[in-house]
Amino acid sequence: MGWYERLISRNVPNVTPEDAWRRLQDDSDVLIVDVRQPIETDSGSVPGAVLIPLTEFGRRLEELPRDRPILTICRSSHRSPIAARQLKKAGYDVTNVSGGTDAWRKAGLPFVKPTGRAGAG
């Protein structure tokens, strides 16, 4: 985890992409939220990810279920910790994925064309 990620993710737990993938496989209640811009997600995202750009995040929090654990992810973990902090402050059970989709892809984890919507599942 880089210094920037440590700075902005205070009070929010972080997991590696591999641990996040295991959580998604082991617990169908876990929801992953990709906060990248639509043009960034055109190339793909984590399977089942809900796409809510960070620029829209504050006004779209109500789309996310409060009764499910949430993982946040972006490209390199500069934006997702900000989203995670917003969720934590609003009372959500949230964890940030360290290293973002860059680390996710580097780990060889599945990456697909996005289809998810908030609250789906």
What count of other Cβ atoms lies within 10 Å of the Cβ of residue 95?
Answer: 23
Alpha carbons 55 and 67: distance in angstroms, whole number: 24
Q: Where in the sequence numbering do the catalytic residues fall? A: 74
Q: Do residues 48 and 23 touch, judged by C-beta distance below 8 A? A: no
In the chain, what are the helix, strand and coil shares in percent, each to the nearest 5? 40, 15, 45
Integer CA distances (angstroms), 110 to 10, 17, 66, in order = 28, 11, 26
Cα separation of the two ends of the chain = 30
